[in-house]
Amino acid sequence: MTIRALVGAFRNRSFATHFASYSRSLSTLVLAEHEGGSVKASSLSAVEAAKFLGEDNSVSLLLAGSGPSLQEAASHAASCHPSVSKVLLADSDKFTYPLAEAWAELVHVVQQRGSYSHIITGSGSFGKNILPRAAALLDVSPITDVIEITGSHLFVRPIYAGNALSTVRYTGSDPCMMTVRSTSFPLGAVSARSESNTAVIDKVDLSTFSEDYGVGKSKYIGLSSQDTERPDLGNARIVITGGRALKSAENFKMIEKLAEKLGAAVGATRAAVDAGFVPNELQVGQTGKIVAPELYMAFGVSGAIQHLAGMRDSKVIVAVNKDADAPIFQVWSNHTSLLSFSLSSLIQQDHQRLCEYDCSPTQDSLELQVADYGLVGDLFEIIPELLEKLPEKN
Ligand SMILES: Cc1cc2nc3c(=O)[nH]c(=O)nc-3n(C[C@H](O)[C@H](O)[C@H](O)COP(=O)(O)OP(=O)(O)OC[C@H]3O[C@@H](n4cnc5c(N)ncnc54)[C@H](O)[C@@H]3O)c2cc1C
């Protein structure tokens, strides 16, 4: 072979490789969580995220569990989102509880058969628990906390507790695995499918499922969750959060009452959780839940960077703190005074419109960095006044 032919062959080969990597069709496996016979909203957001990977992406949803609730969830999955073309059902006692080791091996088995180009899940504790283990079994490097998808292999994710955004190009082999923040891929107006147009439901063949990969190394002990009718913290329109300043679990009930009046979810800082005022599942922040409600009200929350990482994308942030220099009130360098407005302007007759209230800053050029509205005062006076003046929830 002449040198020219050799160079030509290399050229052709590199062209072929390049072409192959970009012309390959997309197929995405979404690892879905279900509860009470329904697919969770965070998993539907992962389906929504898959749409941004590119056109002609065939999306399969993987559900695991056992018993009638799995079958119910499968029916829901088959009709919940128009992008889902197939539901894969792993029905076994091994998956009665979502233990990461069993799930990781399941993903391994399903990927070996389906050769998906992408595997996506929500970045809640379910996804965070499973995805790294599954990625290790598949020998790829996962990308976590994706907030924007700009191409099939190009993603944006926050770093330094959300203080910078990093654009990541995935250059590894398939599958490209990632967790996505559900707040960045809201469901919007997803139209449910008609009964005649539901996705196919296929059972996963578990004959090659290996128990060697740590299955049995963890054990399900129990589930403790709050028996409440309040909206889910991750998807609520309004979140009312309390910090260490509440001082006790008893006092924290004021936050819960306020949330009830506003039809809001309750959140807490890590300091409040560590002090035992509320359970861990209510923690908002870098190591808690990420929320982006229309209205976020923070009472006695200093605004530590790790807390802000979980709520800074909220549309309107209201902070109540007795310290005018608290970081949550931080202002841009040359604007020094805090917004001051009367409590009565905060309270609307129609509490549905709470986030639309009008108020005038004391300085024309004032801009707040974190809180859109700040109130300097003692929460032990302000919350009771709010509770008294807000109308009862219908
Ligand atoms: C690796 C790591 C991860 C972390 N992850 C998280 C996380 O996910 N979420 C999180 O929240 N934190 C997290 N933290 C902890 C974080 O750094 C802060 O310590 C925590 O957020 C502080 O909580 P806080 O605002 O309730 O308490 P504090 O910082 O003690 O603030 C209490 C605030 O209440 C005000 N106050 C006191 N009394 C009153 C009153 N009567 N009326 C009104 N205001 C009052 C005070 O002025 C103060 O600003 C993390 C820390 C680390 C190191």
Ligand 1 binding pocket mutation candidate from 251, 287, 296, 386 (most atoms within 8 A of CB):
287
What pLDDT was estimated at residue 344? 40
DSSP 241-285: EE-GGG-SHHHHHHHHHHHHHHT-EEEE-HHHHHTTSS-GGGBBS
Ligand 1 binding pocket mutation candidate from 307, 325, 376 (most atoms within 8 A of CB):
307
Q: Is 0.85 surpassed by the pTM of this model?
A: no
Question: Which residue do the tokens 């072929």 mark?
Answer: 16
Ligand 1 binding pocket mutation candidate from 125, 160, 269 (most atoms within 8 A of CB):
269
Q: pLDDT (tens digit, 9 = 90+) per residue, 240-278?
A: 999 999 999 999 999 999 999 999 999 999 999 999 999
Cβ-proximal residues to 22 (8 Å cutoff; 6+ apart), any chain? none
Residue 307, ligand 1, Cβ within 6 A = yes
Residue 213: both structure tokens together: 């990969």
Cβ-proximal residues to 379 (8 Å cutoff; 6+ apart), any chain? 245, 246, 254, 299, 300, 320, 321, 322
What pLDDT was estimated at residue 50? 96
pLDDT bracket for residue 163 (50, 70, 90): confident
**How far is C-alpha 94 from the geometric centre of its chain's CA atoms?**
26
Residue 50 and residue 176: Cα distance in Å, rounded? 12
At 381, is the secondary structure helix, strand, or coil? helix
What pLDDT was estimated at residue 199? 92
pLDDT at residue 331 tops 60: no
Q: pLDDT (tens digit, 9 = 90+) per residue, 180-210?
A: 999 899 887 665 555 556 899 999 999 999 8
Residue 172: both structure tokens together: 């590894």
pLDDT bracket for residue 17 (50, 70, 90): very low
Average pLDDT in the 349-361 region? 34
Residue 376, ligand 1, Cβ within 6 A = no
* Lowest mean pLDDT across 130-144, 145-159, 170-184, 338-352: 338-352
Question: Which structural domains are found in the chain, ordered by start?
Answer: 24-203 (3.40.50.620), 238-389 (3.40.50.1220)
Residue nearest atom 45 of ligand 1, based on CA coordinates: 300
pLDDT at residue 133 tops 60: yes
Closest-lying ligand 1 atom to the alpha carbon of residue 378: 42
Residue 271, ligand 1, Cβ within 6 A = yes
Question: Which residue do the tokens 């695995």 mark?
Answer: 177
167 annotated to bind ligand = no
In this structure, is the dihedral angle defined by the CA atoms of residues 134, 107, 117 and 54, taken in order, positive or negative?
negative
Residue 371, ligand 1, Cβ within 6 A = no
